[in-house]
Amino acid sequence: MSVDKEKFIKMLKEKGLKVTRQRLVVLEALAEHKDRHMTAEDIYDLVRIEFPEIGIATVYRTVQLLLEMQLVDRIELNDGCVRYEIGHQFSGETRHYHHHLICKECGKIMSFDDDLLEELEKQIEEKTGFHVWDHELKLYGRCRECIRDKE
C-alpha cells in the first residue's frame, strides 16, 4: 500500500499539484478495497470515517484526477452506477486487462486476468485497420455460490 502512496505523491509533485490529506485518503480507500468496485458515494462513506470534514465534491474531483492520471479505472456495470477501481497498472502489472464476472443473481463482481484477447485484437487490426489500445470485457451470468444455493 505505502509503495502506491509514494508513487502517487511523486506523480502529484511532478505535475505541480499539491499533496493533500483528502487526496491520500481517497487513494487509500480505493487501494484497500480493490475488490469492492465502489461508487463515489461508497468512497465518500468510507473516507468520512477517518476524515468527517471531507466533502463529496472533493471525492468526485479526486476520482477524476486519479482517472486522468490513469491510477484508477472506471467501470459501469449497466446498473446505472459508475464505479471505480484501482488500476491494475498501479499494482505493478504492465498492461491492464481488467475483466469482470458479474453475477446477475447476487450482484457480486469478480475480476480476472487473461490474455486471450490479444489474438482477437490482432485479427481486428488486420481485418479492419482499427488499432486497439485497450479493452474491457464484462461477462454476465451466475456465480458458483448462487448455482450451488439453487440446487
Chain contacts with DNA (rule: CB under 7 A): 13, 16-23, 39-41, 51, 53-58, 60-62, 64, 80-82
Identify any residues that bridge with 110 across adjacent strands, giving them in sequence order: 101
d(CA 145, CA 60): 34
**What grid cell was written down for 115?**
490474455
| Separation of alpha carbons 61 and 44, rounded Å | 12
* Number of chain positions touching a second copy (CB under 8 A): 36
Show contacts with a second copy in window 128-147 (CB under 8 A): 128-144, 147
Q: Contact between 95 and a second copy (CB under 8 A)?
A: no
* Least spacing, CB of residue 69 vs DNA, in Å: 12
What is residue 37's three-state secondary structure? Answer: coil
Residue 144 contact among a second copy, DNA, none, beta carbon within 5 to 8 Å by kind = a second copy
Task: Look up residue 90 and give its DSSP letter.
Answer: G
Chain residues binding a second copy by CB under 8 A are 74, 76, 78, 80, 82, 101, 103-104, 110, 112, 114, 116-117, 119-121, 123-124, 128-144, 147
